[in-house]
Chains A and B, each alone.
Chain A
Amino acid sequence: MVFQLKDVSVHVKGRPPILDRVRLEVSEGDFLAVLGENGAGKTTLLDLLLGFRAPSSGDVRVLGEAPHLDPWQSRAQIAYLSEKVDLPGDWSMGDFLAFHRAFYPRYSLERESALSARFKVRTGERIGNLSAGEIRRAQIVAALAIQPRVVVVDEVTAVLDIIGRRRFMETLSELRATYGCAVVMATNILEDLEHHATRIALLREGRLIHESPVPAFIEAARPRTFSLRVAELLEHA
């Protein structure tokens, strides 16, 4: 089991629970898409996986350890991509990649150069001059070159163009198929998801309202489209 959430709740003073007794499990080779309205608790769920916050109750395990207790060595196997992450504007892409690779013992220069070519990352360019999508591409290269066992993705596809998005999804699927890497992706962009994700989890107001394998979900959705079924469930569940 790559990660496991058992009855996990997150409470903050003065507001309803951000997550309410969520149970989820992800194994090696899984690609879990976490969907939900804005504010449904998707980012909080991923924050728990990285140990950015502790659960108010319940148990979180990632690679067998509780992430909020700072199992720092296991983080060398976790690639984290988030819309919240930005980079210093006066660095070049090459500076960032050089900075990043120093922390990861399994970092592959070979994979970095292959991914840089695939995502058209210009290493000499200053980050401050680049668009949000170009910055995300560099982060994707850096994150996936660490040869991760788990990839945690929080909303990075929104700023990628259609080609970047497709390449990113294909790369994740390849990692999953070739290395048994587990992917957890919170997103609002449903495009291509049905072809790449293996499981889907729907969050609504902090509660897990649906979880199933994607083929079963598509089958149950017929004759409606994948996106329409997701929207219906989120609205009426």
Chain B
Amino acid sequence: MLAHFLRRDFVTYRVFWIVLLVASALAVPYLNAVDDPDRPMFVLSYMYFFFAVSPLAGLIGVTWRSQHVMSRNYLLSLPVPRKRLFAWLQVRAGVFWLPYLLLCFVAPFLSHSVWRFLIYLRLEYVEFLMASVLGVFWLVNTGITMQLMTERITGYLDLRLRFAAWIILIGSYVLEVLLLFLPLVLGRRWGWGPWPYLGCLGVLGWAHFFIARRLWLGR
């Protein structure tokens, strides 16, 4: 059944897939051509941020913007356990990031400048991979939480309640980004390496996962 969903998603979002695959493929020679691999990876991240995150509304089936997307009421009415549907949603959202993750896995072997960059950051290869995987996990679940929270907040009738909920939501995301930067900076300064950052990323990713699952299950 998951394959059933993935096959349909692939057809529905084929243009997105083409853009992501072409962008990832173009990044490979460019990584070797420049001294600073940060730049192509930065551009690529932007591409992914748009083309891999924006299908989320359609995958979730947000009910407040259901014109020609499969709305969640339909998904939840199917005879499939809802926890399983949520697990499938993780996979359906995650597969868009596969070319990016694959590129992260092979980039250090394709480009000397990427190795130099990792050495400059004092990052081991395994740590770099963990950061990439956890980063995608955090981004996917942040995206799902954001969509589901937005849907819930737009349902609040009271304007003050809605306004307060928006402030709390936006504030919590700003705080979260700060929480991610802080261990990155302090970890380097105090010689702890990337582990505080990875720990923070993992904890936040899982926190979003559980919040998103709770919202998905309507609890």
User: A residues near B, CB below 8 A?
Assistant: 12-15, 50-54, 68, 70, 72-76, 78, 80, 82, 84-91, 95, 99, 102-104, 127-128
CA of A112 to CA of B71, assembled, Å = 22
Q: Which of A73, A74, A76, A86 has a CB less than 8 Å from the CB of B71?
A: A86
Q: Are A75 and B8 in contact (CB under 8 A)?
A: no
B177 interface residue per 8 A CB criterion: no
> Which B residue sits closest to A96, measured CB to CB?
B70
Q: Could you tell me the distance in whole angstroms from the C-beta of B101 to the nearest C-beta in chain A?
A: 26
CA of A54 to CA of B69, assembled, Å = 25
User: B residues near A, CB below 8 A?
Assistant: 1, 4, 8, 11-12, 58, 63, 66-71, 73-74, 76-83, 155-158, 161, 217-219
Q: Could you tell me the distance in whole angstroms from the C-beta of B128 to the nearest C-beta in chain A?
A: 37
Q: Chain B's interface: helix, strand, loop or mixed, by majority?
A: loop
Residues of A within 8 A of B74 (CB): 80, 85, 87
Q: Chain A's interface: helix, strand, loop or mixed, by majority?
A: loop
Q: Are A85 and B73 in contact (CB under 8 A)?
A: yes
Residues of B within 8 A of A51 (CB): 76, 218
CA of A128 to CA of B155, assembled, Å = 27
CA of A73 to CA of B58, assembled, Å = 25
With A68-B218, A72-B79, A103-B80 known to touch, is A87 a contact of B70 (CB < 8 Å)?
yes
Q: Are B12 and A91 in contact (CB under 8 A)?
A: yes
Q: Which of B1, B73, B157, B219 has a CB less than 8 Å from the CB of A15?
A: B157
Q: Which of A14, A78, A86, A95 has a CB less than 8 Å from the CB of B158?
A: A14
Residues of B within 8 A of A103 (CB): 1, 78-80
Q: Which of A76, A85, A91 has a CB less than 8 Å from the CB of B79?
A: A76
Q: Could you tell me the distance in whole angstroms from the C-beta of A116 to the nearest C-beta in chain B?
A: 19
Q: Could you tell me the distance in whole angstroms from the C-beta of B92 to the nearest C-beta in chain A?
A: 13
CA of A157 to CA of B76, assembled, Å = 22
CA of A219 to CA of B119, assembled, Å = 86
CA of A115 to CA of B79, assembled, Å = 22
> Which A residue sits closest to B77, measured CB to CB?
A80
